[in-house]
Amino acid sequence: MTIKTSNLGFPRLGRKREWKKAIESYWSNKIDRDTLHQQLKDLHKENLLLQKNYHLDSIPVGDFSLYDHILDTSLLFNIIPERFQGRPVNDDLLFDIARGNKEHVASALIKWFNTNYHYIVPEWDAAEPKLNHNILLERLQYAQSLNVNAHPVIVGPVTFVKLSKGGNQSFEEKVETLLPLYKEVLQSFVDAGVEYIQIDEPVLVEDDSEQYETITQQAYEYFAQVGLGQSIVIQTYFERVNLKFLNRLPVKGYGLDFVHDHGNNLSQIEAGDLDKDKSLYAGIIDGRNVWASDIEAKKNLIETLSNYTDDLVIQPSSSLLHVPVSLDDESLDEDIAEGLSFATEKLDELDALRRLFNDKDDEKFNQFKARYERFQQQSFKNLEYDFDSVPTSRQSDFQQRKVAQQLRLNLPDLPTTTIGSFPQSREVRKQRADWKNNRISDQAYQTFLEQEIARWINIQEDIGLDVFVHGEFERNDMVEFFGEKLQGFLVTKYGWVQSYGSRAVKPPIIYGDVKWTEPITVKETTYAQSLTDKPVKGMLTGPVTILNWSFERVDLPRETVQDQIALAINEEVLALESAGIQIIQVDEPALREGLPLRSEYHKDYLDKAVRSFKLSTSSVDDATQIHTHMCYSQFGQIIHAIYDLDADVISIETSRSHGDLIKDFEDITYDLGIGLGVYDIHSPRIPTEEEITTAINRALQQIDRSLFWVNPDCGLKTRKEEEVQQALTVLVNSVNKLRKSHSKAV
Ligand code: GLN
Ligand code: ZN
């Protein structure tokens, strides 16, 4: 038996974020367009040649992009937002659609399925679909000129339309409009001599994919009629497909995820749902996590799969866009490094398997196997936990807690607060970088932080807010910061992953059992509290969000790791409480995005999320007020779970989708404290008093006034200082007027 190897996509960022640097230099006019192109071409070349080291039978092109591959596809098919139409289709247009310009707002950014990558939403309003410059062909030919055996990657018509918005046409009409344009592009690839085309249709793994089966079938039958069927591989990832349906489509083969499918893709194959003459592109190496594979198990999987297809190609389970590039640049403890696998190491695992099966060469395979086995035995993985010793519900119910808290806090009608962070100014970032690189002493850094905290306490006093925050100046990122302080987490040097555009995050890696060892936030919080009589909120990140935005362990059940984090956060909550902090906010902005793609797993996920949150927040006294914060606009599916968190106050983002949100909260009696984000912090625009008053009044029609708080809709770290001061002043003025008219009325 021989097998082939392939890849679905490679990180764009470069080993040291060269991609980000090139693009941002162009944006700030430090380099011109030709230089940008040259730098990106060099980087693309490096990416291709890096992959070539691992003897893949085929390497993807079309994954590389100037910003986002979905936006590339929109430009290719001329799906240009109405407000940007009439301009030449080039890089400057692309960047303006992605980032907005002085005249027009940017297109929306939405999370790519259940990942932390964000794509630019295509807009159909007034779009005039046609074929623009075929950048994908250009990139393909470039790869071919480097002697790289490449296959093009393009998002499929069904997924593209599903992810887009606007326009009067029906879903089917949009797909039908695109088909002849797709045909031309696909034909150009075939003419360039490619062996196959990877057409990404990840929407086929979603719950509602059945609704799209007819149009999917129509699209792929059309491609077959024009002679392209035998060049097409329909690629899916992140969950199972309906293989019986997929198998009917007249194409060369299918790409399936065998890591995140809960075993369902495999069982469909074993049930005989795949025709043997179809090619199977088997995603057997986890494309979304950083762990070395259990290579013996992969070998067995290959043997099983080879019974069901005459053409087996092994590859990662998804694009490697979601993992860092290479371990080579890190200097890690060898005991931990042995267990890790970034993008290039994953390709090396494929190479080891290829050698084993095709060349009967087991040397590399045995090395991987030995390392994997050693890593499983490491002692940092078996601390003892007593989960039952920590309560998972508060001593009293909300009504009683509310009385105790009000007695202590004595808050006014419609209390005002912010979400936690204040501007991370250039100076703040510079001081932190200087401290990290040992250019300034711990003492100097601490003094700087205290000055900045004191300055912002004064600003909050002047504006007249009711509940203060210290400002989070010491934090680079709300998850990485805790990752640096908790045992069991590893923070890498270059382990960046693209989040959107040029923005990258560096998720910490949870490699061992998680443990709290010393106070993390107490110093800054109590310092802020010492400067004012107003309550200062302690600010923590919750266990669900920390887990979702880290690379998680896979050798333990997810909920066990989440509960370990919850115990650690509970320790910090208690440390803040015993240091006299009266309000503690535990943020869970990632709770919604972690929701599994298939609804049959929702309940289990939400139950466990609620348990972990409560484990981290229930030990406090009745009089200690627990807040949480979430920023997304669709609460529908999770509203009951949010209520079950039993947080005394939740602050939520609503300013951009007001009506919808209130509706979600109408469906149940939400009788806990709730703070409405009354203005959009993502925009530099200063809200007017009238807008804020209207937003509050509208909400008060549904929410009990005694439960109601007023706040911006997220943290303010990306805003300028004067924007924050002005906007918060408007917010406080609006509330003061509402208070006056209310006290007159009663
Ligand atoms: N407390 C965090 C902040 O204000 C919350 C950030 C978030 O919701 N993503 O920055
Ligand atoms: Zn937020």
CB-facing half-sphere around the CA of 267: CA atoms within 13 A: 5
Label residue 393 exposed, middle or buried (CB < 10 Å: 0-12, 13-18, 19+).
exposed
Rounded CA separation 508/492 (Å): 7
For the residues 640-667, what does the mean pLDDT come to? 78
- Quote the pLDDT of residue 109: 87
- Quote the pLDDT of residue 679: 84
- Quote the pLDDT of residue 633: 63
472, 422 in Cβ contact below 8 A?
yes
Label residue 382 exposed, middle or buried (CB < 10 Å: 0-12, 13-18, 19+).
exposed
Query: Which ligand 1 atom is at minimum distance from the Cα of 475?
Result: 10
Q: Is the pLDDT of residue 378 over 70?
A: yes
458 CB contacts (<8 Å, ≥6 apart)? Answer: none
- Quote the pLDDT of residue 662: 63
- Quote the pLDDT of residue 449: 98
Q: Residue 574 — very low, low, confident or very high, per pLDDT cuts 50/70/90?
A: very high
Task: Give how many domains the chain has, as a whole number.
Answer: 1
Q: Residue 175 — very low, low, confident or very high, per pLDDT cuts 50/70/90?
A: very high
164, 124 in Cβ contact below 8 A?
yes
Is residue 334 one of the residues assigned to a domain? Answer: no
Q: Residue 659 — very low, low, confident or very high, per pLDDT cuts 50/70/90?
A: low
Q: 509: part of which helix (H) or strand (E)? A: strand 509-515
Q: Is 682 a catalytic residue?
A: yes
* Whether residue 492 has its Cβ less than 6 Å from ligand 1: no
Q: For the packed helices 33-52 and 135-145, what is the interaxial angle rounded to 10 degrees?
A: 60
Q: Is the pLDDT of residue 663 over 60?
A: yes
What's the whole-number average pLDDT of the chain? Answer: 95
Q: Is the pLDDT of residue 195 over 80?
A: yes
Question: pLDDT, tens digit, for every residue of 418-471?
Answer: 999 999 999 999 999 999 999 999 999 999 999 999 999 999 999 999 999 999
- Quote the pLDDT of residue 448: 98
639 CB contacts (<8 Å, ≥6 apart)? Answer: 664, 665, 667, 668, 670
Residue 405 C-alpha from the chain's centroid: 35
For the residues 715-742, what does the mean pLDDT come to? 96
- Quote the pLDDT of residue 583: 98
Query: Which ligand 1 atom is at minimum distance from the Cα of 630?
Result: 8
506, 495 in Cβ contact below 8 A?
yes
342, 494 in Cβ contact below 8 A?
no
* Whether residue 139 has its Cβ less than 6 Å from ligand 1: no
Q: How far is the CA of 154 from the centre of ligand 1 (A)?
A: 35
Q: For residue 572, which amino acid is it?
A: E
Q: Residue 632 — very low, low, confident or very high, per pLDDT cuts 50/70/90?
A: confident
Q: What is the CATH number of the domain that holds 525?
A: 3.20.20.210
Alpha carbon dihedral 31, 36, 38, 44, in 10-degree steps, equals 140
Rounded CA separation 77/156 (Å): 12
Least confident of 617-621, 678-682, 738-742: 678-682
**What is the 3-class SS of 59-120, one letter each residue?**
EEECCCCCCCHHHHHHHHCCCCCHHHCCCCCCHHHHHHHHHCCCCCCCCCEEECCCCCCEEE
Widest CA span of the chain, in angstroms? 87
- Quote the pLDDT of residue 746: 74
Q: Is the pLDDT of residue 656 over 70?
A: no
- Quote the pLDDT of residue 160: 98
Alpha carbon dihedral 302, 116, 497, 336, in 10-degree steps, equals -60
Is residue 49 one of the residues assigned to a domain? Answer: no
Label residue 684 exposed, middle or buried (CB < 10 Å: 0-12, 13-18, 19+).
exposed
Q: For residue 58, which amino acid is it?
A: S
* Whether residue 715 has its Cβ less than 6 Å from ligand 1: yes
Rounded CA separation 655/657 (Å): 6
Is residue 458 one of the residues assigned to a domain? Answer: no
- Quote the pLDDT of residue 11: 98
Is residue 330 one of the residues assigned to a domain? Answer: no
Question: pLDDT, tens digit, for every residue of 687-710?
Answer: 999 999 998 998 898 889 999 999
Q: Residue 384 — very low, low, confident or very high, per pLDDT cuts 50/70/90?
A: confident
Rounded CA separation 470/417 (Å): 12
Is residue 596 one of the residues assigned to a domain? Answer: yes
Q: Is the pLDDT of residue 661 over 60?
A: no
* Whether residue 61 has its Cβ less than 6 Å from ligand 1: no
Q: Which residue CA neighbors atom 5 of ligand 1 most closely?
A: 715
Least confident of 129-143, 481-495, 593-607, 693-707: 693-707
Rounded CA separation 11/48 (Å): 11
Candidate from 116, 630, 714, 717 with most ligand 1 atoms within 8 A of CB, to mutate: 714
Label residue 724 exposed, middle or buried (CB < 10 Å: 0-12, 13-18, 19+).
buried
247, 213 in Cβ contact below 8 A?
no
Is residue 468 one of the residues assigned to a domain? Answer: yes
* Whether residue 420 has its Cβ less than 6 Å from ligand 1: yes
42 CB contacts (<8 Å, ≥6 apart)? Answer: none
**What is the 3-class SS of 671-714, one letter each residue?**
CCEEEEECCCCCCCCCCCHHHHHHHHHHHHCCCCHHHEEEECCC
Q: How far is the CA of 631 from the centre of ligand 2 (A)?
A: 4
Give CA separation, 333 vs 149, 336, 469, in Å: 36, 6, 37
Is residue 219 one of the residues assigned to a domain? Answer: no
For the residues 259-264, what does the mean pLDDT come to? 97
Handedness of CA 600, 604, 607, 612 (dihedral sign): negative
Exactly one of 37, 262, 658, 682 is catalytic; which is it?
Answer: 682
Question: pLDDT, tens digit, for every residue of 491-514?
Answer: 999 999 999 999 999 999 999 999
Question: pLDDT, tens digit, for every residue of 10-49?
Answer: 999 999 999 999 999 999 999 999 999 999 999 999 999 9
Beta partners for residue 58, in sequence order: 6
Is residue 210 one of the residues assigned to a domain? Answer: no
Q: Residue 637 — very low, low, confident or very high, per pLDDT cuts 50/70/90?
A: confident
Domain encompassing residue 486:
397-423+463-745
pLDDT over 70 percentage in the chain: 98
- Quote the pLDDT of residue 96: 95
Show the tokens assigned to 375. 């890593």
Rounded CA separation 260/288 (Å): 9
